[in-house]
């Protein structure tokens, strides 16, 4: 992979923590390219069946990785997805795991129509820091950072922090 002029960033975390909100705003402010993996999969029909229990399509991870490979090699991409261990480690310069208080997360997911097992499993995922642990195993620990994502103030602070990191990375690598 040739040296990218702009960093690749992974925004990950349990559904409902604010990845899409941060990703879209960050792209607007930084000029980086925003990719929502769920939208990408939907547009390209990158599925491998349907999960009856969770009532959602099953992602074809290999096809998603193939679809993103060239773009990631060029750099300057913000990837938004609730999983992280499907992506090659070499893709990302930094990984941000967004975390939300369980009560708030419950309300956010409920308002999206999550119920039953799907709602409970996502809350448990957040309680047990499942995504953070996945990220720590999938990437070098020094590039993985947790950010609180509970309030509008958190959102602004996270955007500021990621923006500063991005600017510094660009200065250091160009």
**pLDDT attached to residue 1:** 46
d(CA 105, CA 77): 27
pLDDT at 2 over 70: no
With 0.85 as the threshold, say if the pTM is over it.
yes
**pLDDT attached to residue 24:** 98
pLDDT tens by residue, 36-54: 999 999 999 999 999 999 8
pLDDT tens by residue, 56-100: 999 999 999 999 999 999 999 999 999 999 999 999 999 999 999
Angle (deg, nearest 10), helices 19-30 and 152-173: 50
Q: What percent of the chain has pLDDT over 70?
A: 98
pLDDT tens by residue, 107-156: 999 999 999 999 999 999 999 999 999 999 999 999 999 999 999 999 99
Confidence tier at 4 by pLDDT (50, 70, 90): confident
H helix runs in 128-173, sequence order = 130-138, 152-173
Strand extents, DSSP E, 37-117? 47-51, 56-59, 77-80, 94-99
Q: Phi/psi at 7 (nearest 5 deg)?
A: -75, 155
Burial class (CB in 10 A: 0-12, 13-18, 19+), 17: buried
């Amino acid at each position: 992979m040739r040296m990218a002029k702009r960093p690749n960033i992974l925004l990950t975390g349990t559904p409902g923590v604010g990845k899409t909100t941060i990703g879209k705003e960050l792209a607007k402010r930084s000029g980086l390219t925003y990719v929502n993996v769920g939208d990408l999969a939907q547009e390209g029909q990158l599925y491998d069946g349907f999960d009856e229990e969770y009532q959602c399509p099953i992602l074809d991870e290999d096809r998603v990785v193939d679809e993103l490979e060239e773009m990631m090699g060029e750099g300057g991409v913000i990837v938004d997805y609730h999983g992280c261990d499907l992506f090659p480690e070499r893709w990302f310069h930094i990984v941000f795991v967004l975390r939300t208080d369980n009560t708030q997360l419950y309300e956010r997911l409920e308002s999206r129509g999550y119920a039953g097992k799907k709602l409970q499993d996502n809350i448990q995922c957040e309680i047990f820091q499942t995504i953070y642990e996945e990220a720590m195993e999938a990437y070098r620990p020094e590039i993985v950072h947790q950010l609180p994502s509970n309030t509008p103030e958190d959102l602004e602070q996270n955007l500021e922090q990621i923006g500063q990191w991005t600017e510094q990375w660009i200065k250091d690598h160009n």
